[in-house]
Structure 1
Amino acid sequence: MSSSLLKEPREIDEIVYRFLEISDFEKGFSECLQQLTEAKFTKSQFIDRYSELKKQPDTYFIVVAEDLKKKKIIACGTLFVEKKFIRNCGTCGHIEDIVVDKTYRGKNLGLRIIEQLTHIGKKLGCYKLILDCSDSNVKFYEKCLFEKKGVQMSLYLPMSKL
Structure 2
Amino acid sequence: MSFAVLPRAIMSLFRMRPSEPAPAEKAAVVPGALPEVAYLTIETLSGPDYQFDSEGLFSDEVRGMLHENYAIRPLASDDFHKGYVETLSQLTTVGNLTEELFQERFARLKRFNEIYYCIAIEDLTSNKIVGLGTIMIEDKFIHEAGRVGHIEDIVVNDCARGKNLGKIIIEALKFIGKEKGAYKTLLACSQHNIGFYAKCGMAQKEVVMSVYY
Task: Identify the TM-score tier after normalising by the shorter chain.
Answer: over 0.9
1:6 aligns with 2:49: no
Q: SS where residue 120 of structure 2 aligns?
A: strand
* 1:81 counterpart residue number: 137
1:144 aligns with 2:200: yes
Deviation at 1:12, TM superposition (A): 3.5
Deviation at 1:2, TM superposition (A): 2.2
Deviation at 1:52, TM superposition (A): 0.5
Unpaired runs of at least 5, structure 1: 158-162
Deviation at 1:62, TM superposition (A): 0.6
Q: What does 1:60-71 align with in structure 2 at a 5 Å threshold?
A: 60-71=116-127
Which of residues 43, 46, 50 in structure 1 aligns to 2:99? 43
Unpaired runs of at least 5, structure 2: 1-51
Which of residues 106, 111, 116 in structure 1 aligns to 2:162? 106
- Preserved CA contact (<8 Å) 2:67 2:163: no
Partners of 1:12 and 1:81 lie apart in 2 by 28
Q: SS where residue 73 of structure 2 aligns?
A: strand
1:18 aligns with 2:73: yes
User: Which one has a bigger Cα radius of gyration?
Assistant: 2
1:132 aligns with 2:188: yes
Partners of 1:105 and 1:133 lie apart in 2 by 19
Higher strand share: 1
More contact order relative to length (CA 8 Å, sep ≥ 6): 1
Partners of 1:34 and 1:45 lie apart in 2 by 16
Q: Which has the larger displacement, 74-83 or 8-17?
A: 8-17
Partners of 2:67 and 2:144 lie apart in 1 by 38
- Per the normalisation by structure 1, the TM-score is 0.94
Which of residues 28, 31, 42 in structure 1 aligns to 2:83? 28
* 2:153 counterpart residue number: 97
Stretches of 4+ moved more than 3 A in 1? Answer: none
Report percent identity of matched pairs: 43
Residue deviations 1:59-103 (CA, integer Å, cap 9, x gap):
000110000010000001000111111111111000000000012
